[in-house]
Structure 1
């Protein structure tokens, strides 16, 4: 099974969940539904797909089990759908959805873990030729992957234990383990390998080390200190160091680069949203949980930092201009990025400024942006299906 085809399965499912995520925000669905569609559905599915395609080569290995992605795919999709619908369905839907989702995670962890078992720290990077000078940064970036897998293991185990009645973790703790511990760490690790190559520029090596180190420790403090104000603040500061360091690194790469491809602008908006989101998180750690600020924080991080980073990387892997359908081009991609970024900005303004009437404008813009993003991806995939 070719890695590119595996990625398209997961990326397509991710895009459909992205539409659902924005639709859920637009109709003011319960927070648990929104977070499930955005984090478990959109972010993690694209992470799974690209990890299968990229991690083996980054660790100078071949994928250990070619059928692993095909086995995981239905488990993850059905499990996520079940978890998203659980608040509206029968009582058995939550445990069934959790079991299916955790089963998919187990397949992913087993396949990727067995793939890198002889090179867990990523010392062998597969880097050579014209990119040989990037090996020190690549080696540091690889360290993020096994740590992110560890957080994913902890979250899946915690979800199963809670479903079994042990009440080991609350949904907010699971979300932080998955968003900050798994997804953000993958963004840091894979991003430091991808973006310097995309932009043909050099990332500052000392900053890479700081980002990976802070990104490795911050999520645990955030998740397990969620109801301990002092520990939460420490975790927030450490995670802020990681996010701000990554933001500065990307801005340096962007300014040093002569390339100006459409996806790069999405990531530029993503890092701005990351600074806003992490700032809101620190405010929450200091002042307490205002419902509006909590919503603004998770939307800035999930739809903004993680979401727009995914969109930018996807437009680089699957350029809109190769699409075979009408209006599949960079101009439509820029409109898509504007709708997603602008819609998020309007939402945050409404939430922070208590202008409730404009939040619906922002969510409507985001939903339209998600539809256009999905259209552009499917248009690019259609060329490969011909």
Structure 2
């Protein structure tokens, strides 16, 4: 019953993330402030999908069972409502209560998540017990190294959530209250590090191949250090440059490791191409980050950096992994299948490239690119909702209706 309940709520988290992905694109097209996009993209899309899958994956990878199976049901309405409030608060001339209410709700939901995961793995904090079977005994070394960094990613989530709360309440802010510090703690520190750690467990099994072990250690080590240096030293200075190099090393190293896995694999799944597009976008995104560290920032560069990293690296990687967990080909809804899934990846990828060129050159390609990403996001959300409705929600609804008729 516990596994069924967790799977059910995981689908709700993934759905909320997919809807937020669409809302993010609509907010951009409507010309709303950048902070609205950050909230919808990072808090709404990326983190909600991560929450949903982490509830099932992290306990399993630490050879444990989720300690409090009702946690996702409590967590979900808190962070969803908190995200909505924080997004509304970023729009000028909205009621001042939206920000503190959103911050408190978000922090409360994350506290439920961290408390539940923390209590679940409390007697195996380093992840030495991996639940890796004898058939995969050769993977235990990588699995243990990957597990070791999950608590660090959760610590980043805790600090970033406090920073979010402090930005919207009278609590003392982190350093000087510069919002990008919090964004980097959550995006690079929590989500990207979880993508690295969980990715090094998931992706080799998906592709039935082995990653280069030296790269695993390099990626996780630099990926753990880089976000802290960036968050503390933004927007410039020698430590900012060190942090940018560390984070770039992590993302490029992960990209190389995935490309090796992709080349070694004899399997072909639509989701693999989403991750492939994601790591390519990640290389471009951290390349811009290095440009900031060396030559300073510009508004257009910041916008491109945000889009390539959050919608590109994190977003497309999450889209690809979602398609692996929930294969579009199993659906029978007209229009839902591998071709539509591939189209969603293509629209987002091409749109981000066009948007980047448009922002950097000041041409009309920006609108075209954002429209393309919006189409891709809508296709992704449509696939997710259709699959969940057909395989889970529709049977439940029919059962309830049948019970009512009796």
Q: 2:323 aligns with which of 315, 320, 335?
A: 315
1:87-110 deviations in Å (ceiling 9; x for gaps): 332001001000000000100000
1:376 is the counterpart of 2:383: yes
> Which residue in the other structure is 2:150 paired with?
145
Q: Is the 8 A contact 1:143 1:212 kept in 2?
A: no
Q: CA deviation at 1:384?
A: 2.1
1:61 alignment counterpart = 64
Runs of 4+ off more than 6 Å? none
**Deviation at residue 165 of structure 1 after TM alignment:** 4.6
Q: Pick which of 21-30 and 286-295 moved more.
A: 21-30
Which of 225, 232, 237 matches 2:245?
A: 237
C-alpha separation in 1, matches of 2:362 and 2:311: 20
Which residue does 1:103 correspond to in 2? 108
- Using the TM superposition, give the Cα deviation of residue 287 of structure 1 relative to its aligned residue in structure 2, in angstroms: 1.4
Distance 2:340 2:305 in 1: 28
Which residue of 7, 10, 14 maps to 2:10? 7
Does the CA contact (< 8 Å) of 1:324 and 1:379 recur in 2?
no
In structure 2, the residue corresponding to 1:112 is in which secondary structure? helix
Equivalent residues of 2:104, 2:165 under 8 A apart: yes
Alignment of 1:1-386 (within 5 A): 1=2, 2=4, 3-88=6-91, 89-162=94-167, 163-168=169-174, 169-355=177-363, 357-385=364-392, 386=395
> In the aligned structure 1, how far is the partner of 2:171 from the partner of 2:213?
45
Report the TM-score, using the length of structure 1 for normalisation: 0.98
Contact 2:166–2:172 (8 Å) recurs in 1: yes
What SS does the corresponding residue of 1:119 show, helix, strand or coil? Answer: coil
RMSD after superposition: 1.0
C-alpha distance in structure 2 between counterparts of 1:165 and 1:54, whole Å: 33
Aligned partners of 1:336, 1:159: CA distance in 2, in Å?
Answer: 31
Per the TM alignment, residue 319 of structure 1 is displaced from its structure 2 partner at its CA by 0.5
Contact 1:323 / 1:382 at 8 angstroms: preserved in 2?
no
Gaps of 5+ in 2: 396-406
Question: 2: CA distance between counterparts of 1:221 and 1:200?
Answer: 35
Unaligned runs of 5+ in 1: none
1:372 and 1:160 mapped to 2: Cα distance? 33
- Distance across 2 between alignment mates of 1:22 and 1:268: 22
Number of residue equivalences: 385
